[in-house]
Structure 1
Amino acid sequence: MSIKIENLTHIYMKGSPFEKKALDNVNITINQGEFVALIGHTGSGKSTLIQHINGLLKPDSGKIIIEDIDITQKKINLNFIRKKVGLVFQYPEYQLFEETIEKDIAFGPKNLGLSDDEINRRVKRAMVMVGLEYEKYKDKSPFELSGGQKRRVAIAGVVAMEPKILILDEPTAGLDPKGRDDILGKIKDLRKEYNMTIILVSHSMEDVAKLADRVLVMHKGRCILDGTPSKVFKEADTLESVGLAVPQVTYLVKNLREKGFNISEDIFTVEQAKNEILKILNKG
């Protein structure tokens, strides 16, 4: 399912002394099956943009077209759109409320009016995809779990609705390194299993480099960079000028190149750097 954003503008507190243009004539097309990372400093417009894609906010002007439907039109059925576009907010575990994990994950599918058999199938599938064994966890309270496990339950609750587009707002925020790596691995699996279009909002350049096909950089309500991780992370000066950075390993590669090592500049992950350095050492 593709997303086409045309001339999108959103102004908070319009006409007041606190008026702020959160989105300024944004134009973006996201294709079916793409894994897109959305990055930008706090206040850049990232959260406002994703809330428009889910229909939670209405623009002051412009269009958002999802599967040939302009969701900004007045009489549009937003429930239909929200079945297609799943949004996992930052710290989603704070939205858990049912007495068991199974009931919490089943809440969304039940609201879709599905049969009990279909709900059960979706709950089991979603739990497997986020790495929670059904029989072991289904009757447990979500409040007995670790932070990383709660995050998995919350993501499973959205995944069980089987949206075509999955938006994740800082899904690894507040997790320890192992919890972060586990969640990121599951997100990669979700994309393969469900053939979803995924939009990942993140402050971690390392996560973006490992996962995304494409990176969109927001600044002052505009999309200022759009391209592959390789293309965007070569714009280090531009990123630093808007309060961002490239992955840490990129600075290491730059230093090695300045010291005369014949190492590729297209390196943005630790794994890529390790392979490249081992290649150079083996040649030597």
Structure 2
Amino acid sequence: MSIKIENLTHIYMPGSPFEKRALDEVSIDIQDGEFVALIGHTGSGKSTLIQHINGLLKPSSGKIIIDNVDITGDKVKLSDIRKKVGLVFQYPEYQLFEETIEKDIAFGPKNLGLDEAEISKRVIKAMNMVGLDYESYKDKSPFDLSGGQKRRVAIAGVVAMEPKVLILDEPTAGLDPKGRDEILDKIKDLRKEYNMTIILVSHSMEDVAKVATRILVMHQGKCILDGTPKEVFKEVEVLEKVGLAVPQVTYLAKKLKQKGFNISEDIFTIEEAKYEILKLLKGANNND
């Protein structure tokens, strides 16, 4: 499902001494099935932008067209939009409230008015997709789980509604490295299985490099960079100027290049670094 954002501006507390322009004439097109990462410092406009896409905020000016419908129009039923655009907030485990995992995940589909058979089918599928075995976990309390498992339950609750667009706000925040990798792998699986358009908000360049096909960089309410990971991470000076960075392995590759090693500087993930360094070592051994 496509998303077209045209000249979107949002001003908090207009006309007051606390007036703040959170979004400033933002225009972005997101195509059906894209995996887009949204990065930027706190206060850059990321959260404000995603809340507009879900219809939680109304713009000061501009348009948001989702699936050829302008959701900023007066007669639009935002409840219909939210069935298509699922939003998983940061630390979503704090929004869990039912006594069992099954009931918590079933809450959204029930509100869609689905019959019990369809609800059960969706719950089982969503749980399996996020790596929670249905029979093992369905009757457990969500409050007895680890942080990473709670995060999976919260994501499954949105996925069970089968939205066309899934927005995830810092889904790996606060998790250990193993938990981060597991959540990111599950998000990639979700995109394949449901053919979703995914928008991932993140502070982590490493996370973004692993999963995104496109990166949008926000700064002071504007989108200042838009491209593939390779295109965006080449703009080291621009990123550092706005308080961001490229993945750590990219800095390592650049240092090795400066030391005279024949290594690509277009390295953004651990897997790419491993491949390039092994190639270097093999080359050195062959020369011996």
Both structures adopt the same fold (TM-score exceeding 0.5): yes
Partner of 2:92: 92
**Residue in structure 1 matched with residue 73 of structure 2 by the alignment:** 73
- Corresponding residue for residue 267 of structure 1: 267
Alpha-carbon distance in 1 for matches of 2:56, 2:108: 17
- 1:134-153 equivalence runs, <5 A: 134-153=134-153
1:161 aligns with 2:167: no
| Partner of residue 253, structure 1 | 253
Paired position in structure 2 for 1:15: 15
Shift of 1:177: 1.1
Consecutive unaligned residues of structure 2, counting only runs of 5 or more, are: none
Aligned-pair distance for 1:281?
Answer: 1.4
Q: Write the distance in 1 (CA, Å) between the matches of 2:28 and 2:280.
A: 40
* Deviation of 1:146 (Å): 0.6
Cα-to-partner distance string for 1:196-224 (whole Å, 9 max, x where unaligned): 00000000000100100000000000000
Q: Which residue of 2 aligns with 1:173?
A: 173
Distance 1:144 1:90 in 2: 20
Match of 1:201 in 2: 201
**How far is 1:136 from its partner?**
0.6
CA distance in structure 2 between the partners assigned to 1:250 and 1:143 by the alignment? 39
Residues 97-123 of structure 1, C-alpha deviation per residue, up to 9 Å, x if partnerless? 000000000000000000100000000
CA drift of 1:75 comes to: 1.3
> Given the alignment of the two structures, is residue 241 of structure 1 paired with residue 236 of structure 2, yes or no?
no
The one-letter code sitting in structure 1 at the alignment partner of 2:122 is R
Tell me which amino acid in the other structure corresponds to 1:131.
G
Aligned to 1:25: 25
CA deviation map 1:234-276 (0-9, x unaligned): 0010000001000001110110010111111111111101101
Rounded to whole Å, the distance in 1 between the matches of 2:255 and 2:176 is 29
- Secondary structure, counterpart of 2:90 in structure 1: coil
TM-score by length of 1: 0.99
Deviation at 1:3, TM superposition (A): 0.3
Aligned to 1:103: 103
Provide structure 1 residue ranges, at least 5 long, that are not aligned to the other structure: none
Partner Cα separation in structure 2 for residue 255 and residue 233 of structure 1: 15
Residue 137 (structure 1) shift: 0.4
For residue 74 of structure 1, report the CA deviation from its aligned partner: 1.1
- SS of residue matched to 1:135: helix
Listed one character per residue, the Cα deviations across residues 53-90 of structure 1 (whole Å, up to 9, x for unaligned) are: 00000001000000100000111010110000000000
What letter matches 1:34 in structure 2? E
What is the aligned partner in structure 2 of residue 121 from structure 1? 121
Cα-Cα RMSD: 0.5
- Equivalent in the alignment of 2:282: 282
Q: Distance in 1 between matches of 2:274 and 2:108?
A: 43
Q: What's the secondary structure of 1:25's corresponding residue? A: strand
Question: Helix, strand or coil for the counterpart of 2:17?
Answer: coil
What is the aligned length? 284
Q: Secondary structure at the match of 1:113?
A: coil
Shift of 1:131: 0.3
Which amino acid in 1 is paired with 2:246?
Answer: V
Letter in 2 for 1:97: F
CA–CA separation in structure 2 for the residues paired with 1:271 and 1:162: 31
TM-score, normalised to structure 2, is: 0.98
Taking the aligned partners of 1:3 and 1:22, their CA distance within structure 2 comes to: 20
AA matched with 1:197: T
